[in-house]
Amino acid sequence: MVLEKKPDNEDFVFTHGDYCMANIILLGNKLSGFIDLGRAGVSDRYQDIALAVRSFEHNFGTDKWNDLFYKEYGIEDVDYSKIEFYILLDELF
């Protein structure tokens, strides 16, 4: 099932690897740092995007913040199939 959903194209960047709210440090309303970089490395940018979206939905109980996140990240056309794939892939860890 996971291999069937593997994206055909990848946009490689440096990723956190476990980009979720528990691993983001805020100071006031600004990003101050990250923790738990054990899975950091080069991957498709959607690896971090997918885990951030899952974290927002888990922690806030809603997906209402996702569109704001995509906008601030600079994503105009969200690839929901990549989000689904990277969330599914993360379940294997």
One-letter amino acid identity for 77?
A: D
**How far is it, in rounded angstroms, from Cα 4 to Cα 72?**
30
* Residue 33 and residue 23 in contact, taking contact as beta carbons nearer than 8 Å: no
In the annotation, is 63 catalytic? no
Catalytic residue among 18, 48, 63, 90: 18
Which residues are the active-site residues? 18
